Amino acid sequence: MARSYLLLASLISVACAVPNVSRDTFVHVRRDSAPAGFVHVGPASDSQVLTMRVGLTQSNTAGLIDALYSVSTPGSDKYGQHLSKAAVEAFTAPTDATTASVHAWLSSHNVTFAPATPAGDWLKLSVTVSQANRLLNTNFATFKNQATGKETVRTLSYSLPTSLEGKIAFVHPTTVFPIQPFGKNAAFKPNSAAKRAPDAAPQSCATQFTPACLQELYSINANSTGQASNVIAVSGFLGQYANEADLAAFLASFRPDIPSNTTFATKLLDGGVNPQDMSDAGQEANLDTQYAIGVAGTVPVQFISVGFNNDDDFGGNLDILEFLSGESPVPTVLTTSYGYDEDQLPFDLANSVCNAYAALGAQGTSILFASGDGGVAGGQGRPCTTFIPTFPSTCPFVTSVGGTRSLNPELAASLSSGGFSNFFPTPDYQASDVSAFLAGLGSTYAGLFNASGRAFPDVSAVAEDVEIVWEAQFGTIEGTSCSSPILAGLIGLLNDELISAGKPPLGFLNPFLYANQDIFTDITSGANRGCGTPGFSAGVGWDPITGVGSPVYASLRTAVGLT
Ligand SMILES: *[C@@H]1O[C@H](CO)[C@@H](O)[C@H](O)[C@H]1NC(C)=O
Ligand SMILES: *[C@@H]1O[C@H](CO)[C@@H](O)[C@H](O)[C@H]1NC(C)=O
Ligand SMILES: *[C@@H]1O[C@H](CO)[C@@H](O)[C@H](O)[C@H]1NC(C)=O
Ligand SMILES: *[C@@H]1O[C@H](CO)[C@@H](O)[C@H](O)[C@H]1NC(C)=O
Ligand SMILES: *[C@@H]1O[C@H](CO)[C@@H](O)[C@H](O)[C@H]1NC(C)=O
């Protein structure tokens, strides 16, 4: 399927698509048509109020990225010396000239706006449709999702004054239609026995992975000391609520060694809630909290529940980034088991979000995302003629976690999404591994993927037969939604040990992961089918299904200098 977004850098005439284009504007983003499944209903009501975000061009994104690499690349003399929030904001804040022009533009349209980040690089606007139409020289329309009947106000194209060229990074929501991320409800399979006795024994690991199985499989030989500054943040979107009673039942069976009152803290954003009725428990939210805590023990975990008051349609990622942009210290780990197909997003928005992950990484957060569950066919597996990469996994500043299954040996899970970005080029930290993989692949799949793109995943962990508790029932679940919180727990535990030893947390992981890939368990068998192909195959070295492999905690301890 062809990419649905065309990004036009220069002034062109699109008189058919946008009837009212005056000479002194340029098209910032346009798409040819609404996505399949949406029908145009008619013009949007002039008085409807839209909440929008406008991203301003940062003063020095390149400087931020250099700083990120210098604190994250082993061997650099700044390794581990994470930046303060003020140092990051010196890069991310727009220039005074940019800020003045954008503010003047909004004020001239009587638009109400406020900074969404302390650096002022993102603004939050409240505008009526008629204001938005004049501001963006467009005609917002109502579109209906034919499957759900839900109506949404969007446009296919918008323009900005030429005086703002180079000053605006994104305007959202405009051309992005509401997208259902992957990762909402994995299929829970109840165990035949309704309850389980405390059972830490790994002999059942052939059929069900529990925290004890993961301790064995990944040589996890440490206990958390519960360092307060070391927080694992767990993203929760879309009405997925984490249940404390289910967590208590899970820990009673699988981590009887940690205090029975161990639980997560909750942060509510944008009307978020986290009700504790059993019927509100979410499979995804339970999985994510149970495995972050099940692996990390008493490391503090913060469940972030994003509500629906955001006009975001990007899951809640923007809300979480805005929240964390104001936090100091930042969490040491952020794990998110939701994602999108890269072609569902315009480059400008994806790029700004990716740079926001760089800003968190520079301050010492390890950003983990599940790679997706549709093999080479995107996050949920869709019909395709070319491979579909997933975002945020394709952002070079996040760690994408793919999926494995089974034991002795651990194999690649066929559901594990992996591949190559069409947006972001191959970063240096993976360049030699990716070219070795491509050399082995030869001309297989030529034309189905972008060989010059950022390749993912980076690393992997168990994604099938993972035991959780949901609505007081024990059962198994699958998906890379399992892999990301498992790795988050493991990195959180390592950070706990580092902080206890007076060392900084790991922060942005990828340069370290690729430089130390010989200490990972290389997964060499399995393939991630999709688009009518067998998909990429796991093999010796990095591959786009399991990355550098699965972690070996005891070796990671040594590699980070713990004794
Ligand atoms: C374009 O929009 C401006 C401002 O809303 C309006 O003054 C002008 O008449 C419009 N031009 C056309 C050709 O519709
Ligand atoms: C902004 O508000 C002022 C005062 O109410 C009004 O005169 C002006 O026409 C408005 N401008 C726009 C673009 O709506
Ligand atoms: C962790 O704690 C458990 C239970 O208290 C204990 O059996 C185990 O030896 C500890 N492991 C390490 C590495 O200290
Ligand atoms: C758990 O209980 C212990 C002692 O009973 C108490 O000191 C600790 O603060 C409790 N922890 C939480 C997270 O409530
Ligand atoms: C392939 O990836 C490169 C690097 O990110 C990008 O510049 C290019 O536009 C991509 N090609 C296609 C066809 O998407």
68 contacts: CB under 8 Å, gap ≥ 6: 358, 361, 362, 397, 508
Beta strands at 453-456 and 38-43: parallel, antiparallel or unpaired: unpaired
pLDDT at 203: 54
Q: What are the pLDDT digits (tens) for 229-270?
A: 999 999 998 889 999 999 999 999 999 999 999 999 999 999
285 close to 301: Cβ distance less than 8 angstroms: no
Q: Pocket around ligand 5: residues whose beta carbon is below 6 Å from it?
A: 421-425, 450, 452-453
Mean pLDDT of all residues in 371-394: 96
**In this prediction, what percent of the chain has a pLDDT beyond 70?**
92
Query: Residue 1: what pLDDT?
Result: 28
Pairing of strands 459-462, 466-470: unpaired
Q: Is the pLDDT of residue 205 over 90?
A: no
Sign, CA torsion 526/529/533/539: negative
pLDDT band at 5 (very low <50, low <70, confident <90, very high): very low
Query: Which residues are CB-contacts of 324 (< 8 A; sequence separation ≥ 6)?
Result: 233, 330, 331, 334, 360, 365
288, 433, 467, 478: the active-site residue: 288
Q: For residues 427 and 93, give the distance between their C-alpha atoms in angstroms, rounded to a whole number.
A: 24
For position 314, what pLDDT does the model report? 77
Interval 369-393 mean pLDDT: 96
Does residue 88 have a pLDDT over 90? yes
pLDDT of residue 193: 58
Q: What is the chain's mean pLDDT, rounded?
A: 92
pLDDT band at 461 (very low <50, low <70, confident <90, very high): very high
CA–CA distance from 142 to each of 46, 48, 52 (Å)?
11, 11, 16
Task: Please report which confidence band the pLDDT of residue 3 belongs to, taking 50, 70 and 90 as the band edges.
Answer: very low
Answer with the residue of higher pLDDT: 366 or 180: 366
Answer yes or no: is the C-beta of 444 below 6 A from any ligand 3 atom: no
Number of helices (H), then strands (E), belonging to the chain: the values are 13, 25
Atom of ligand 1 nearest to the CA of 134: 5
pLDDT, residue 94, reads 98
pLDDT at 462: 97
268 burial via Cβ count (<10 Å: 0-12, 13-18, 19+): middle
* Distance of alpha carbon 447 from alpha carbon 439, whole angstroms: 15
Partnered with residue 305 across adjacent β-strands are: 236, 268
Q: Using one digit for the tens of pLDDT, what is the confidence trace for 398-452?
A: 999 999 999 889 999 999 999 999 999 999 999 999 999 999 999 999 999 999 9
**pLDDT beyond 50 at 22:** no
199 is catalytic: no
- Summarize the confidence of residues 448-458 as an average pLDDT: 98
- The C-alpha atoms of residue 27 and residue 7 are separated, in whole angstroms, by 8
Distance in Å, CA 44 to ligand 1 centroid: 18
pLDDT at 2 over 70: no
Considering every ligand atom, which ligand is closest to the CA of 258? 3
Of residues 386 and 15, more confidently modeled: 386
Displacement of CA 317 from its chain's centroid (Å): 7
pLDDT attached to residue 200: 45
Give the integer Cα–Cα distance in Å for 226 and 224. 5
pLDDT on residue 185: 57
Total-model pTM: 0.92
The answer to whether residue 108 scores a pLDDT higher than 80 is yes
Looking at residue 374, its pLDDT comes to 96
**Are 492 and 332 in contact, with CB atoms under 8 Å apart?**
yes
Which one of the ligands is nearest to 136 CA?
Answer: 1
Asked whether 292 and 284 are in contact (CB, 8 A), the reply is no
**Has residue 275 got a pLDDT over 90?**
yes
Could you tell me which residues come within 8 angstroms of residue 148 by beta carbon, excluding any fewer than 6 positions away? none
pLDDT of 184: 62
Letter for the amino acid at 360?
L
- Report CA torsion sign: 399, 507, 552, 439: positive
Of the candidates 105, 92, 21, 14, the one whose C-alpha atom is nearest the C-alpha of residue 58 is: 92
Each residue's pLDDT tens digit, 32-86: 999 989 999 999 999 999 999 999 999 999 999 999 999 999 999 999 999 999 9
- Nearest CA-CA partner of 224 in 478, 500, 545: 500
> Ligand 5: which atom is nearest the Cα of residue 424?
5
Does the active-site annotation cover 481? yes
- Residues lining ligand 2, Cβ inside 6 A: 109-110
The single residue of 400, 481, 484, 537 carrying the catalytic annotation is: 481
Q: How is residue 205 written in tokens? A: 């690991």
Distance CA 122, CA 192 (A): 50
CA distance 86 to 323: 16
Is the confidence at residue 561, as pLDDT, over 80? yes
Q: pLDDT category, 191, cuts 50, 70, 90? A: confident
Query: Half-sphere exposure (CA, 13 Å, Cβ side) for 535?
Result: 31
Bond preceding residue 392 cis, omega within 30 of 0: yes
CA of 469 to the centre of ligand 2 (A): 57
Task: Summarize pLDDT for 533-550 with one digit per residue, the tens.
Answer: 999 999 999 999 999 999
Q: Does the pLDDT value for residue 388 go beyond 60? A: yes
- The pLDDT value given to residue 18: 43
Using a pLDDT cut of 90, give the percent of the chain over it.
86
Query: 260: Cβ below 6 Å to ligand 4?
Result: no
Sequence-ordered list of residues with C-beta below 8 angstroms from that of 95, at least 6 positions apart, any chain: 59
Prior bond to 457 cis, omega within 30?
A: yes
Q: Residue with structure tokens 């963006």?
A: 136
Q: What is the pLDDT of residues 498-531, one digit of tens each?
A: 999 999 999 999 999 999 999 999 999 999 999 9
Domains belonging to the chain, first-starting first, are 2-58+93-172 (no CATH), 206-559 (3.40.50.200)
